[in-house]
Structure 1
Amino acid sequence: MTTSDTPNEPVPTADTAAAPVPVTRLERLAGKLGSRASATAVYGEPVTSGGVTVIPVAEISYGFAGGAGREAGAAGTGEGGGGGGFSARPRGFIEIKDGTTTYKSLRAPWVDVVVPLAALLAGAAVPRLVRRLAARRSR
């Protein structure tokens, strides 16, 4: 029997036999979570209303760490531990309307305040700096 004849059994990687048990468990867990991490899982299915389809777009990240050890000269595998985290942030949405697809980014609300304020301050400060530099050169 080959591995293709047994679809319910996971196919081991080449180095699975040499890898410690906590490592293979962590790899399996990361694989399962990674396959389920999607914008659909976080924000739901695309929505269609009035001929317009909206598809959510998200930035998804996850990470895991783990370890195992034993005292020097001790037999056995010792103890181990691990942990992980998952994060999802909305980035925008894709709008499909009348055969046209457009991506619309979601910005942080503070950008609407900071960018105009920075432009206003730069517009007021730059002419003063230019006048001061011109006055120093003429001395």
Structure 2
Amino acid sequence: MAEPSLSIGELARRTGVAASALRYWEGQGLLPAPARVSGQRRYPEEAVAKVGLILLLRDAGFSLADQKALLASRAGDMQEWRRLARRKQAELDEQIAKAQAARDAIEHGLRCSHPDFRDCPNARSLVQARLTGLSLSEAHKH
């Protein structure tokens, strides 16, 4: 009995990913080139899980190059995964710190008793710190 296969349209419907994205991922080496039957792409059933993994990696913030490296690494070889995951974790920690500093500054502005936030000594201090080259996160700590 022949292995069941999915057309690109079926794979797109099952994964919620546009066929054009699937073709792009194939061209980038994220998805292996599928077999062709009468010129039509035919993906194996396991392509659904692979697309799910690509979506998960994308949602976690991994670049296409990182995704390709992770998908190309040998099964069970966790060293590359850990290296990329630690790097991504550090990037996310930095993004979270920046977002938290921005949230704190906005929250202060909303609570500030000054009628105009530009008159607030705290806001002026942040502005001065930014003008000296400090990031919002660094300025907020001062």
- Specify if TM > 0.5: no
**Larger C-alpha radius of gyration, 1 or 2?**
1
Instruction: With the length of structure 2 as denominator, give the TM-score of the two structures.
Output: 0.30
Query: TM-score normalized by structure 1?
Result: 0.30
Q: Which has the higher helix share?
A: 2
